[in-house]
Each structure stands twice: as C-alpha cells, then as structure tokens.
Structure 1
Amino acid sequence: MKHKYIGKISIMTMIFALFVSFIAASPKPADAASTVNLKAKSAILVDADSGKILYEKNADQALPPASMTKMMTEYIVLEAIKKGDISWDTTTQISDYAYSISGNATFSGVGLTQDKNYTVKELYKAMAINSDNGTTIALAELVAGSEGNFVKMMNKKAKEMKLPDYKFVNSSGLDNESLGKNYPKGTDPDGVDMLSARSAALLAYHLVNDFPEALEYSSMPKAKFDKQTITNWNWMLPHHTVNFDQYYYEGVDGLKTGHTDLAGYCFTATAERDGHRLISVVMKTNSEDTRFKETAKLLDYGYSQFGQKNLFPTGYQLKGKKTLPVVKGKEDTVDIATNNDFKVLLKKGEEKKYKITYHIDKSKLNEDGQLVAPVKKGEKLGTAEIVYKGKDLGYINGKTGSQIDLVATKSVDKSNWFMLALGALGDFFTNLFSSAVDMVKGWFS
C-alpha cells in the first residue's frame, strides 16, 4: 500500500514538472506580439504624425516599386491643383500613347476613349483607385507637357523631399521596356523606377500630411468611371465582397498597391485608429494574399505595442535643476519648468527608458551664468529635450528628437536703485575685505 502511494506521488510530481516546463517554454502573448516575422524582402512601419520609425527590415534596399510610383504622380498633381496650375475640373484629351497603354488589359487598363474630354478628377480617380496607367500618363502630360518633363519633376520633388533612395523613369511604375518606343524622353529605354521601403514610406508620409484629400480617393473600394465600375486593388478596404472579407482591416484608408514580375507584390498602406495613423510598406512579397497579410502583421504590431503617453506633463521640473540664479532682481532665483506636455509615442514597458535634459539659452545669461532681472513670467529660457535610452530607429523625416520650451514660472522684477546701490556697496566692501585678507595672508606665507 505504501509503495502504491509513493508511486502515485512520483507520477503526479512528474506531470506537474512537465506542466510547469511547458508553461515556461510557451511564449507569453505580449512577447509573441512584440515581434514581427515578415515574408517580405523589405519593409518598414512609421508613425504618420511624428515620422518615428517603429520597425524596419532591409528598409534601405532599393527595389522596383511598380505602381507605388503613382504616389509621386498623385503628389505632383495635387500640388499643381493647389498652385492653381490646373483644377479638378480642368479637362484634357487622351494622347495616342496614353490610349495604347490604357487599352492594354495587362496594364490595368480601363479602356479610355479618344476625342473625349476627361476632367482631372475623373483621371485622378482612375489612377488612385484602379491604378490605371493610361490615366496616369494623361495626367503627367497635362501637368508637364510630356511624360519626359514630368519625370524630371518627379526626381526634383524626390530630392526636395530628401528621399534617400530613388530613381524615377516614368510616371506609372511600369518597366520602360513595356512602354516600347513611348518610353519618356531622356530616360533609359530599359529603365525601371526604383525606391527603397524607407523612401516609399517618406513619400507616403508627405502625401498624407501635405494632401490628406488623397485619402478620400484611396479609401474608395469602388467608383464609377466612364460608364463602368472600377475596383480598388487594396483588399484591406471594406469591399463588401465575401472573397475579400478575410483581408479587411479596420482603419485602413489607403494607400497604393503595386505589382510587376520584377517588383513582385508591393503595398504601401496607411490606417488610422483612435486618431493614431500608421504608414507601412512591404516590398517584393510573392503574392497578392501575402502582401496584405504581412501588412496586417505590421499594423497589428504598431497598434498593439505602441501608444501615446504623457511622460512629462506641463510644469515638469527636473530634479536638482528647478531654478536659475538671478542678479539685480528682487529675488535671487527663478523657478523654471516645461510649458507644455511631453507626449511620447513609446513601446509598451519602455517608460523608464525616457529622460529629460535641459538646454539653457546661454544668450540669456551673463558671463557668470546668471539671469539679469527683469525676468518675465512665461519667458523662454531654453528647451527641454527628450532622451531615449534604448535602440532608436530614428525618424523617417530626419527629425532628431522632441523638444519643448523651458520657461520662467513667475516674474522677477528689477530691484530699485537704492537696493541695487546697497548691493553694489556691499559687494565693494566684501571684495575690499577679501583683498585685505589675501594681502595679510601673503605677508605670513
């Protein structure tokens, strides 16, 4: 009986040990969510407000972006509208070149009609929603006179935006070889548009921030064009079609898909949830299905692992540096504090990795490092900078860090002439006494 009891205890102990080992070896939900394993050659995830990079994989490798090229075409068209060079109601007709491309079903052609006036709005919708190449070329010719001139504008704008890796050879993203004799003048007949994921994300960052109206079109699942229905290639939008339900992602409202044999399947996405917008890029995936599933992984990572937090509220004072010395004032010091909230987009659990450092404006101080009265309440005396003690991926827009103003919390009036005179007299006798003491010490040294 005793042996049976001991045997049962041993078996239960072994089962318990195995259970504990299994629990210890299993990844915790938070740990699993904090990593991203992407089936994409290159990728990046960016906060659309600050430009902060949240994730990257081979983000500087230049690859063919295919129709993601059209984000630059969209930007330049919208800029031309803003400048008044054209309007949404401006009309144009279709050239032989644009017509031949649009009539080719392999080039996402909607089948344009010649000898017909199309408005800029009609052409833009076909380009942004259906990724039509013919309408893209027609817009380029309208804005710049020729696609060759438009390509020059694209590369110039890329330089202005400080895209790190780019080469534009046409407005649509097709390989120049596919355009035949119509390839843009001044470009390589075998040329291919090139962008890195970082450059595509920066281009998208400028597009959604400078021209948010672009999202009105990129968010349309379907639209009417020239008596036909055109469909958006972005399956993450609410298409209300059973086949695409599995790809729908709450908050996605753009931005641009792309595909060629050379480029593979690419996608620059953007989504907004609770006022927080993200931009993601995946390049050279192996299928339409994959590019959307990998995008969902990136967005899930961003929304589950990052959030805005007010780490240092308005009026925050750094310990040991709460005051600055003041001379010629009714008070000897003045309190300094931040004049705004210091909100930071941070990864969960990393709050303690953020610190504040002060940069006092030296032009406000005398040679002894003191403020000279009067000092006004709210007067800017320097800046407070956030410092992150961790692996920093930086900012897509070249930003180096967040700063807010350091200000005086109250006024310090200048002392009256009598008190200043007494102070000066006191300083005189203090200095005189010190000199006398030093002289006497010298006699006996």
Structure 2
Amino acid sequence: MKHIVSKLTVVMMITVLFLASFTMQPNVVKANSNFDVSAESAIVVDAKTGKILFEKQADVALPPASMTKMMTEYLVLEAINNGDISWDTTTQISDYPYSISANPTFSGIGLIQDKAYTVRQLYEGMAIISDNATTIALAELIAGSEGEFVKMMNAKAEEMGLPEYKFVNASGLSNEDLGENYPEGTQPTDDNLLSARSAALLAYHLINDYPEVLDFSSKMRSQLDDQPLENLNWMLPWEDNNFAQFGYEGVDGLKTGFTTEAGYCFTGTAMQGDRRVITVVMKTNSKEQRFIETKKLMEYGFSQFSQVELFKAGHQIKDQSTLEVAKGKEETVEVEASDALTAMIKTGEEDLYTVEYKLDEKVLNKDGKLTAPIKKGEKIGEVVLNYSGEGPNTYLNGIGSQQTVDLVASTSVEKANWFVLSMRAIGDFFGNVFSSIDDFVTGLF
C-alpha cells in the first residue's frame, strides 16, 4: 500500500510541476496563423522595409473612394518640393469645384468664389476633412485642369510601380457623382481603382518621400472660412468625444474613404518606438468597423514582428569559409559577410532563416577559383538570406526583395612571384604524371 501511495505522490508532484511550468511563462502574445480581419481586402506593411506582414486578397482592385486623395497629396507635395508652387501660393475657386463645394451631398466646406485661398488652406481641407472641392482646386492649380492632373496621377502611379491602379479623378468620387464635370479623357461611368497592395505602396511613398504629410493627417482640428475642420480619422488621440474608444497608440494618419461603391475604407499608419506600420482595409461595412479592423492589423504588426539581427557582420558558413585562389602566395582565402543581415521577422521564426553564398562568376577563372591579387574587403559575391517558413516573405513592389549583403575577402592575398608559380607548375605536372602512372598500374590489377 505504501508503495502505491508513494507512486501516486510522485505522479501528483510531476503534474503540479508541469502545470506550473505553463503559469510561470512570460505573458507573450503568440502568433496566430488563423489571423483574419473583416474586410474584403487588407494588408499590413512595415513602413521602413516594405515587408508585408499580412495580406488578404491584397491584389483585388476596388474603388478606393477618398483614399484616391493620397495621390493628389503626393503630387501637391512634389510640386512644392520642386518649387513649382509654395504653401503660400494662392488660387481662386473655379465654377467646377465651387459647385461641388456647394452641394450638400458631398459634405463640402462651402468655398467662396472670388477669394484667394492659399495652398496650405486647401491642403488642410483635403487632408483633414477629406474635402472634395479643395482637392479639385489644387489639381487645377497644378495641372491647369483635372483632366491633365489625372494624367499626372497615372504617370506617377506607373513610376511608383503600383501593381493595380486606375485614376480617373483627383477626389475619389465616381465620375457619375461628378456629372458633366467628369475629367476630360475619362468616361462618365468610370471610377478610380486601387488594390490594397497599391494603396499601401502609395502610402509608403507618401510617408517616406514627404513625411510632412503626417503633420496634416495627424491634425485633429483646424478651420477654413470660420468653418470647423474635424479630422475623419477616429484613431487619432481624441479625448473629448465618442471617438476616443477607437484610439490607438502612435496613429498619425493617413486617409479615410467612403462611397457607396467602395464601402468604408481606410489607409492607416502608426509609429511605436522606432517602428512604423502601414495598414489598408477596403470595403468594410461601417465607419466603426474600418477602425476596429485597422486596430487588429496594427496590433498584429507590432506584436508579432520585430527587426532582428539574424547573422552578424563577419559571419561565415561552416565548411564554406574559404575559397581557392590561383596564382596567390596563399592558395586559399577566407570569406565573410561584409555586414549584418537583419530582417523584420515573425516572433519565434529566427531558426527558419539561413544564408547561402552566391559567387560572382566574373571574378572566378575557368576552374572556379579566385585569381590573386585579392584585397581585403574585396567583393566576390553575395550572402543571401533564405526563409523556409510558411508565412509571407514578400515586399511591396519595387521596395524590397531577397535580402543580401556583400560576400568579401577577410584578408588580402598577394600574387605569388614567378619562381613560386614555376615550382607549383612543375609540382602539378609531376603530380599529374605520377597520378596517371598510379591509375595505369592500378588498372592492370
């Protein structure tokens, strides 16, 4: 009986220790392979590297509504940067944007004709409250007409490498909404189109090329013609209204959108510490849902991924640390990674990354050897980072690709003098002769 009791005691102790091992683990958010969001299309991207952290039907081209204005914002900032206009440049409101502004269907500010508005005033109207008339006025200022501006939008989209896009006006309204004012060169039934991937890439360029855009997109309130401008982004740090429940740490942009065809969409961005993410949700069902789903994407991007140094500078692959050298004082040279290899990786996947060497064939002779002299630090190929996991390891078009650093010589190898080369040649000759004789004799038996 005592023997049975002692066995039960041991089993109970093991069970307690087993359970304790779980309760004592640090409170870490675990990766969820079943992660999803309630949007027809979505993506979250690391804003520094362009690494895609999650995507859902990201290549489906959909109406982006006022997210179209991100391209207008880009071209205005580009014009300012090029010196074509300035923040203080003034313009008056033509009949077309005035009619849009006066139409309550479009929730216009109500612009005044025969008044000079500065670019800054119009830009605030576009960026803060997503006003359509101020957007059209800026397009006319830069290109002379919205039709010409649309050509600029599509040309810039091609230059950026947006994979799926179609710009037909500056504001994001459908051409049917514009009635007889639809831009020249487009069709009356046309609508703008962007995929979530293209919207993220556009946002990437906007934020990285012109970070001042965030000064506007993060501004919660302003005014124009004594009319209040209140930001449509409920994820900003609101404290005095019902939007506070949607707030998320570090959010400072970027662009909301809604039309009947597009549903509720949002391109968001947030900065936490030294990391920034870009998110896109398209065709959600409500104003609230687009921010709720964006929060999910942001939390996923920040909690599940981090920038990790996977291989240090000077790293060598075991059993591949040397290469043969022809005509050198030494017959081999050590090689190593010139710099550290870092990557934005999912938590717990460090062991799924390996490296391989890809030698530059131009520096090898016909026997596959390097030829002396070789200088320390001389590039002889690349160290390529490989990923063997199941998750995405892709980047926004034209931003990133398979990560590499230079493969370089660790030391210098001087060219051997003629005497050493002669002795080696003689040695190789007799070595080949004796090898042939040995093979011949061995073949007799």
Q: TM-score, normalised by structure 1?
A: 0.89
Q: 1:424 to 1:311 in 2, by over 3 A?
A: same
- The corresponding residue for 2:421 is 420
In 1: Cα distance, 2:178 partner to 2:240 partner:
34
Q: Percent identity?
A: 60
**Per-residue deviation, 1:29:** 7.3
After superposition, give the CA deviation of every residue in 1:199-233 in whole Å (9 maximum; x if it has no partner): 11111111112221211211111123333331110
Q: 2: distance between equivalents of 1:84 and 1:29?
A: 50
| 2:270 equivalent to 1:275 | no
Does structure 1 retain, via aligned residues, the 8 Å contact 2:154–2:167? Answer: yes
Counterpart in 1 of 2:388? 389
Within a 5 Å distance, the mapping from 1:38-187 to structure 2 comes to: 38-187=37-186
Is the Cα–Cα contact under 8 Å of residues 379 and 408 in structure 2 kept in the other structure?
Answer: yes
Shift of 1:413: 1.4
SS of 2:63's equivalent?
coil
> C-alpha offsets along residues 298-337 of structure 1, whole Å, 9 cap, x if unaligned?
1011111111111101111111111111122121111111
Greater shift, 405-414 or 216-225, is seen at 216-225
Question: Which residue does the alignment assign to 1:357?
Answer: 356
Mean CA deviation greater in 395-404 or 263-272 = 395-404
Whether 1:37 aligns to 2:60 is no
TM-score, structure 2 as length reference = 0.89
**Worse overlay, 227-236 or 292-301:** 227-236
Q: Is the contact made by 1:68 and 1:173 (CA closer than 8 Å) also made in structure 2?
A: yes
Q: 8 Å contact 1:107–1:133 — kept in the other structure?
A: yes
The AA in structure 2 aligned to 1:219 is: S
Deviation at 1:32, TM superposition (A): 7.4
After TM superposition, give the deviation of residue 288 of structure 1 in Å. 1.0
Root mean square deviation of aligned Cα: 2.4
Deviations 1:395-443 (A, max 9, x none): 112433111111111111122333223223333443455566677789x
The one-letter code sitting in structure 2 at the alignment partner of 1:179 is L
Question: SS at 2:155's partner residue?
Answer: helix
Contact 1:218 1:255 in 2 (8 A): yes
* 1:412 counterpart SS class: coil
Post-superposition CA distance 1:374-410 (Å, at most 9, x none): 1111111100111111235321124331111111111
Q: How far is the alpha carbon of 1:45 from its aligned partner?
A: 0.9
CA contact (8 A) 2:163 2:397 kept: no
CA offset at residue 256 of structure 1?
0.2
How do 1:221-300 and structure 2 match up within 5 A? 221-300=220-299
The answer to whether the Cα contact below 8 Å between 2:126 and 2:134 also exists between their aligned partners in 1 is yes
Are the aligned partners of 2:162 and 2:397 in contact in 1 as well (CA < 8 Å)?
no
Distance in 1 between residues matched to 2:88 and 2:421, nearest whole Å: 72
Q: Name the SS for the 1:62 alignment partner.
A: coil
Question: Which segments of 5 or more consecutive residues in structure 2 lack a partner in the other structure?
Answer: 1-11
Deviating more after overlay: 193-202 vs 237-246: 237-246
Partner of 2:304: 305
Give the SS at the match of 2:256.
strand
- 414-423 or 165-174: bigger deviation: 414-423
Q: What is the CA-CA distance between 1:102 and the residue it aligns to?
A: 1.6
Residue 411, structure 1, aligned to residue 412, structure 2:
yes
The residue number in structure 1 matching 2:431 is 430
1:134-171 Cα offsets, whole Å, 9 max, x none, are 11000111111100111111122222222222211110
Looking at structure 1, the residues matched to 39 and 434 of structure 2 have their Cα atoms a distance apart, in angstroms, of: 78
* Corresponding residue pairs, total: 423
Please list, as runs of the form range in 1=range in 2, the aligned pairs for 1:366-377 lying within 5 A after superposition: 366-377=365-376
Once structures 1 and 2 are overlaid, which stretch shifts more, 187-196 or 31-40? Answer: 31-40
Aligned to 1:5: none
Q: Deviation of residue 271 (structure 1)?
A: 0.9
Go from structure 1 to structure 2 and tell me whether the alpha carbon gap of 1:32 and 1:342 turns closer, same or farther (over 3 Å shift): closer
Match of 1:338 in 2: 337
Q: Distance in 2 between matches of 1:258 and 1:344?
A: 33
Paired with 1:220 and 1:343, the residues of 2 have a C-alpha distance of: 34
State the one-letter code of the partner of 1:403: T
Q: How far apart in 2 are the matches of 1:191 and 1:175?
A: 7
